[in-house]
Structure 1
């Protein structure tokens, strides 16, 4: 790297705009900020040498220079915002309704939204926030923030740390606030220095030259913002790891116990009872809504028990379970345990739990029962044997029956509209009889059956929809947001002010600079020169 020597004797690194010692513009480097063509100096980063403006040879330099550009960072953020906006047009894959005809995204989006849905799916927007390219975009924004911060923070820190009270006259005369007074006494100078100290300025002196400064820490506000944003981006990336973030959904029917997804089979949940409460039709507040919707939920909750597997896991053996917690899960009142949170998210009603069938003779007008059997619709047996010698075999079971193109099928795996193909075996008769039985359906396959099956009774139940979440990234988001707000306050409510007093032939050059709020700096200067012969500074930008 080339070094350039100033007339004051200080050797500046290549890329320095203003001499680090005296502040005089470095002639060989003015092409960077164009100070030769400006009346006022460009005080950005105090004229320090930035890496992105110094090196441009290797691939590392070019990569650094690319990401150090604020324009590149802004464009990356714009692209992320556009992608995020498109991702909200249709629901993400994880939010496809359970009641959808098909939850396969390749089928759902086209069936629900037509050609736009198909394009949406094929471009990968259905799973946007966990897609590799979106995560890469977020990572590039983080890289841009880090490089932008380092490229500017380090040289600015060095420049402010090394600044001297004694500055070149050209540096002072080309400040925005400047005045020159021919006759200033030592008493007036001491009075000004005293007032600066009372105004909480930190005063530095070098051979009669004074520099007063306060609020330097406000210059680090934008970089504190960057640190907060980087922490937020890291938290967003960590949400891709199963350990740091989990969001699962599970249906648990009344009386059932199932493994909680995402816990590697370690935890189980049992739905002891589901409770649904609705508003009364006489309630005037909800009368119109009840008329339109049929009912308005007042409360729906799951009385749940959480179990944890203990002991050694043996394949095929029932796990040993230890009760961890028993609680009521309601809307806005989740159940929390061991870092997991379970929310009451929905419910399904009108689902069959069990059905009881009876056998009677086909031609019997009274349909007198010859025997009955009960089927657990969640786990039906293959064969049911009755005490009177009859046996019934379940040949086909459709939990949620429908006909499609002349073929029977089940829309879902849940018993919402159960239908069966039964094989009835009478006692002492080798020939079986086939029957199709469902809700409102009883079909004799041959038309010659001696026996019929009919629904004698049934039991309904609720299915509780629960969201299972674990999120260890929330503290990181909170910390990042807090740091970001500290940076905003730091940079917004405090200002970096500097005042230079330069003795010259019995007089004085007075100059001032601030990163914002020039009116406040002028007011400070008015206060320190009050009752002295020192001329008030002029705003040279207004003179231009």
Structure 2
């Protein structure tokens, strides 16, 4: 029984030693840092926390689902990224705890006398043979040590003089200070990954919001205050490419204005730990807008007539006795899985309008008009053709909203 008990203790001791050696391994440190670097690169290349339709523009459905399942669409909040950070923190902490007592003893209890083995182990060792007296050599060495290190400590033992001098004793703690800084930074990153979040919100010009949507989930985050978009502006290059876009935002608390700031890309608004970044913009079709339609008589060479009408409103063709209602408008028309009309995106990529043709108060025809396919008409019975010439919808500003409670810890570690 005694032998069996000793074997169990021995196995347990070996297991603890192996675990300790594993956690203090330099190879583990290098491996973790390489993996973290690679995953961070992936998190930079792959857009994070975007909407599904944005991913499906660049990836196939299978690729999108695979990236989502592996956590590459939200790398910095994935369980495996948090686990990697935790392991690196633990690795640095255990290494520091293992080495610190020995280094602290060297600092606080220096040994002025070295034995033969310690002398041979020194990295810089020179033996000089000169015909000088012992006192003369001693004085010269003391003079050199004073110049470069300070007054040495003298010890005479067994007929041998020992001179000990040192400089920057506490510099040995530099590695522990570095480790502590890295651990603090990693701890801040862990806090941000676990308790922080990123969300998106679109605000139509003149409107306000008090909550945001967390991408990749159905979670809605209450802000506790309102954010209003007072003005949104886009400037363009001569070739029509957007040059810059900016939003004027106002923070409201209990209906009272607290803060107003104009933000643009890389110049966010910060309030109560939340950071609002300018990320996108577009036209909100569900907020209405003005559709410009050209109407021509089928087969006629005469120029058509233009009508400007709000979505949901109607205009009259008096010569035909027809009332035309713009029933619905889609900025990027597509048929969904159920065969119903839907918006693929909020960009004007495939504008389409559903028109109701009424006669004597009753629906006479229902047709679709596509700006990209102007000669497509759902009904050949009409004597008129309709063409979309433009759409002026209400613009929205797209904001990325983040909150990272660990960021102050990261900055502390950087100090």
TM-score when normalising by structure 2: 0.70
**Is it true that 1:240 corresponds to 2:193 in the alignment?**
yes
Query: What does 1:150-165 align with in structure 2 at a 5 Å threshold?
Result: 150-165=97-112
Alignment of 1:139-154 (within 5 A): 139-154=86-101
Equivalent residues of 1:339, 1:470 under 8 A apart: yes
Residue 118 of structure 1 deviates from its aligned partner by 6.2
The aligned residue for residue 110 of structure 1 is 60
Summarize the Cα distance change of 1:165–1:270 in structure 2 as closer, same or farther, 3 Å threshold: closer
- Which residues of 2 match residues 424-435 of structure 1 at below 5 A? 426=360, 433=364, 435=366
Partner Cα distance (2:63, 2:388) in 1: 46
Partner residue in 2 for 1:519: none
Tell me the distance in 2 between the aligned counterparts of 1:163 and 1:71. Answer: 31
Contact persistence 1:335–1:342 (CA under 8 A): yes
Q: Which runs of 5+ in 2 are unaligned?
A: 1-10, 214-220, 303-307, 317-321
Aligned to 2:412: 479
Structure 2 counterpart of 1:16: none
8 A Cα contact 2:324 2:355, kept in partner: no
TM-score (normalised: structure 1): 0.55
Pick aligned residue for 1:251 from 199, 202, 208: 202
Partner of 2:393: 460
Which of residues 393, 402, 408 is equivalent to 2:334? 402
Could you tell me whether the CA contact under 8 Å between 2:204 and 2:284 is conserved in 1? no
* Equivalent in the alignment of 1:323: 257
Alpha carbons 2:326, 2:355 under 8 Å: kept: yes
Superposed, which structure 2 residues align to 1:79-478 within 5 Å? 79-87=35-43, 91-94=46-49, 96=50, 102-103=53-54, 109-111=59-61, 120-172=67-119, 175=122, 176-179=124-127, 184-186=133-135, 188-190=137-139, 192-201=141-150, 203-207=152-156, 209-242=162-195, 245-261=196-212, 264-279=222-237, 290=238, 294-308=239-253, 310=254, 321-348=255-282, 353-355=288-290, 374-375=310-311, 398=330, 400-403=332-335, 407-412=339-344, 414=346, 416=348, 417=351, 419-420=353-354, 422=356, 426=360, 433=364, 435-436=366-367, 438=369, 459-478=392-411
Q: How far apart are 1:420 and its partner, in Å?
A: 3.4
Query: Take 1:374 and 1:396, find their aligned partners in 2: how far apart are those partners?
Result: 10
Per the alignment, do residues 224 and 132 of structure 1 end up closer, same or farther by CA in structure 2, a change over 3 Å counting? Answer: same
Q: Residue deviations 1:412-464, cap 9 Å, x none? A: 4748435336495956xxx6545235456896879599x99999996433322
C-alpha deviation, 1:307, in angstroms: 1.6
CA distance in 2, matches of 1:82, 1:307: 41
User: Partner residue of 2:34?
Assistant: 78
Aligned residues: 375
Q: From the superposition, tell whether residues 270 and 423 of structure 1 become closer, same or farther in structure 2 (CA, over 3 Å).
A: farther
Q: Contact 2:188–2:409 (CA<8 Å) still a contact in 1? A: yes
Distance across 1 between alignment mates of 2:60 and 2:247: 35
Does structure 2 retain, via aligned residues, the 8 Å contact 1:435–1:452?
A: no
Deviation string for 1:218-277 (max 9, x for gaps)? 3222222211211221122122134xx443332222233223527614232222322223
CA distance in 2, matches of 1:373, 1:164: 93
Contact 2:93 2:183 in 1 (8 A): yes
In 1, the alpha carbon distance for the partners of 2:203 and 2:178 equals 45
The structure, 1 or 2, with the larger RCO (C-alpha pairs under 8 Å, 6+ apart) is 1
1:164-194 CA distance string (max 9 Å, x none): 3233345435544143768644465355435
CA distance in 2, matches of 1:120, 1:465: 24
Contact persistence 2:250–2:259 (CA under 8 A): yes
Contact 1:301 1:344 in 2 (8 A): yes
- Answer whether contact 1:231 1:476 (CA < 8 A) is retained: yes
What RMSD, in angstroms, separates the aligned Cα atoms of the two structures?
4.7
Counterpart CA distance in 1 for 2:89 and 2:170 is 24
Match of 1:79, SS state, is helix
CA gap of 1:219–1:438, structure 2 versus 1, over 3 A, is: same
